[in-house]
Structure 1
Amino acid sequence: MDFPFIGDILEFFQSVWDWIYSGIYDFVKEAFVLATKVAIYSYYQALLFALQVAYQTFQELVSEIGIGDKVQQYYNMLDADVRSVLSFFGIPDALMIIFSAIGTRWTLKFVPFVGR
């Protein structure tokens, strides 16, 4: 009597044994790697959301207070030659970026859970 399915049964049990012996470790390791990736991705998504909220809040505060109009008024009071030199070197754009970053960072402190 020849039983051809015995080899298949032995192969099945051998694959189960191999999975128990080394497959569980690889499975758990890959699960922790995936969980770490999800945690890092979620952290950066939350940080990006908080940054957007802080930036929009700061822009609204600045427009309500009228700081931008006052700065524009004082900038227009400068001599035309000085304004052209400042514009040539991009000073107004650089100052706008710097002040927006400072204000956004300050506003980010008030965002719950993510802001520091």
Structure 2
Amino acid sequence: MIEAIQRVYDAVLTFFQGIWDWITTGIYDFGVWAFAKLVEYLVWKSLEFKLWALDFGWDAAKVMLADLDFANRMQSAFDLLPASSVAILNALGVPQCITLVVTAALTRFLLRFIPGAT
């Protein structure tokens, strides 16, 4: 009978000792873990937002270039040059480079209007 009471007493003592250990040390470890998970989640969502904003800016820049009729304006400017110069510029890929730089500049310009995107 005494042994049964001793085992119950040990079980209750072990239970409350486990709770006390969790309150004194385990809650700190839990807090550190929870804060790390929160920071990880926020960083991940921040990166997702920046990727979305970049995609949005790129799409908006392409629409702006289409609305400005940039390709036709650039083609008409190249038509004013001699044929040999146009051939050299096309061989070097200058028209594609100009389009890429202008699109990047427009994307950067548009991203300034989205808070947290840059």
Tell me, yes or no, whether TM beats 0.5. Answer: yes
Task: Give unpaired runs (5+ residues) of structure 2.
Answer: none
Q: Deviations over 1:59-102 (max 9, x none)?
A: 11111111121113334555565555445544444333322211
Segment drifting more, 22-31 vs 40-49 = 40-49
Aligned residues: CA RMSD: 2.4
Instruction: Indicate the residue corresponding to 2:9 in structure 1.
Output: 6
Does the 8 Å CA contact 1:108/1:115 hold for their aligned counterparts?
yes
Instruction: Indicate the residue corresponding to 1:16 in structure 2.
Output: 19
Does the 8 Å CA contact 1:58/1:103 hold for their aligned counterparts?
yes
Q: Which protein has the bigger helix share?
A: 2
Task: Give unpaired runs (5+ residues) of structure 1.
Answer: none
Q: TM-score, normalised by structure 1?
A: 0.76
Q: 1:9 to 1:90 in 2, by over 3 A?
A: farther
Instruction: Indicate the residue corresponding to 2:103 in structure 1.
Output: 100
Instruction: Indicate the residue corresponding to 2:50 in structure 1.
Output: 47
Q: TM-score, normalised by structure 2?
A: 0.75
Instruction: Indicate the residue corresponding to 2:40 in structure 1.
Output: 37
Aligned residues: 115
